[in-house]
Amino acid sequence: MRVVGQNDKSRRNGGAAGCGHVARGGIALLAVAAIAAGCAPPGDGGSQSALPSPSRQPLEAPHAKGPQAKEPLAKGPHAKDAPPKKFRSAQAARVAAAKHWRLAGVPLTPPPPPARKPAITTRAGFEVDGHEELGLPPVFTTVPTKQKVVFLTIDDGAEKDPAFLRMMSDLQVPYTAFLSDYLIKEDYGYFERMQANGVVLNNHTLHHPYLPALSYLRQKREICGMQEVIEERYGKRPLLFRPPFGNYDRNTLRAAKRCGIRYVPLWNEEVFVDRWDYREWDRKIRPGDIVLTHFRGREDWKGTMPDMIRRFLNKVTAEGYAVARLEDYL
C-alpha cells in the first residue's frame, strides 16, 4: 500500500498544530510518511516588519492628502470621474477595520473570480496507483493561476474564538474551513455563524484519524459520516475534503469519491501565530498557493487566532498578494 502524506516531525516539537493538526480529546498523532519536499524549519522569512510593497495600501483614509490618497478608478468612459460614494464608503470601512485590528496595511482586494476555471490536476508525486484511471479526486497544493492571490484554509474546529469571526467579517477576508465533528459538536452554532458570513464548510473526517491505518470501509465511514453531519447541520454536502495530517492512500481517495468529494486540497504553506512554514525549498509564496492554519488559541499557541491572522495578512499584503476564495477557482 502506497501512503502519501506530510512530514509532521518538525511541528510536533513546537507543540502547535503541525503539518495538519495536533489532535485533542486523546487522539494521538501517529507517525506519518514524509513527502519529498517536507516542512521547513521554524521561521517565516517574512515577519510583520517586512518592507512595504508598492501595491500595499497605507492605513490612511481615502480622502487624505498626498499621493497615497489616490484611489484606483474603474476603466471606461467615466475613468476620470471621482470614485462613487459607495466605493469610497466601503474603502473607508476597510481602512478603519485594518486600523482596528492593528494590521500594517489594508488587505488587498482580490480580482473577480475567473470566468473560466483553471484545470485542477494532481500534483506530481502525490498520485496513488490508478489515480487517473479511476477518476479519483485531484490532490493539489496550489491552484494554477497567474493572479497574485493565495487561499486561506483553516482546519479542525478546536478553537471557537468570537473575536476571529468579527475580525474576518470586518476585514471581508475569505477563507475555507475543513471541520471534524468530534471538535465542532461542542458548538455547531459557531460554525453556523461562520457559514452565514459566506464561509464554505468542508470535510476533515468525523474523528481525525490517521486514515491509511484504516480499512477502506472505516475510511468511508469517517468521510461519508462527516458529509452527512455537515449536510444535516448546515444544509450543504461538501465537495472538498482534506485528510487529517495530509495523509492518504488509494482507499482514502476511493472512499472520498464514493462520498461525493471532487477535490482534495492540501497546502503549500502553513501559518502559525509565531511563524510560517513552507513546503518549497526556497520558502516563497507563489500565485495560487493554498495556505493552511488551524482553529487554535492560547492553549496551543503563544497567541490568539486574530494574532495568527494578523501575521498572515501582514505578510501576504506586503508581498502584493490578495486573499481569494478557494471555491471560486474550482
Average pLDDT over residues 192-198: 97
**In the chain, what's the furthest Cα-to-Cα distance?**
65
Average pLDDT over residues 236-244: 98
Q: What's the pLDDT at 89?
A: 82
Fold of 3-48+116-329: TIM Barrel (3.20.20)
Q: What's the pLDDT at 87?
A: 75
Name the β-bridge partners of 108: 322
Using the predicted structure, report yes or no on whether residue 328 has a pLDDT greater than 80. yes
Q: What's the pLDDT at 19?
A: 46
Using the predicted structure, report yes or no on whether residue 70 has a pLDDT greater than 80. no
Q: What's the pLDDT at 260?
A: 98
Q: Which amino acid is at 76?
A: G
Percent of the chain with pLDDT over 70: 76
Enter the DSSP assignment of 276.
E
Q: What's the pLDDT at 75?
A: 40
Looking at every residue in the chain, the average pLDDT score rounds to 83
Using the predicted structure, report yes or no on whether residue 39 has a pLDDT greater than 60. no
Q: What's the pLDDT at 35?
A: 36
Give residues with Cβ within 8 angstroms of 2, minimum separation 6.
Answer: 128, 129, 249, 250
Q: Are strands 3-4 and 248-249 parallel, antiparallel or unpaired?
A: antiparallel
Using the predicted structure, report yes or no on whether residue 13 has a pLDDT greater than 60. no
Most confident of 2-11, 75-84, 298-307: 298-307
Please give the residue that has the higher pLDDT: either 34 or 149: 149
Using the predicted structure, report yes or no on whether residue 139 has a pLDDT greater than 60. yes
Angstrom distance (rounded) from CA 259 to CA 252: 11
Contact between 241 and 261 (Cβ < 8 Å): yes
Average pLDDT over residues 10-26: 40
- pTM for this entry: 0.79
Q: What's the pLDDT at 55?
A: 39
Angstrom distance (rounded) from CA 4 to CA 210: 12
Angstrom distance (rounded) from CA 253 to CA 126: 12
Retrieve residue 231's grid coordinates: 449536510
Report the range of poorest mean pLDDT among 63-72, 81-90, 165-174.
63-72
Report the range of poorest mean pLDDT among 16-25, 102-111, 292-301.
16-25
Using the predicted structure, report yes or no on whether residue 54 has a pLDDT greater than 90. no
Average pLDDT over residues 264-292: 98
Angstrom distance (rounded) from CA 112 to CA 110: 7
Q: How confident is the model at residue 59 (pLDDT cuts 50, 70, 90)?
A: low
Q: How confident is the model at residue 85 (pLDDT cuts 50, 70, 90)?
A: confident
Average pLDDT over residues 286-313: 97
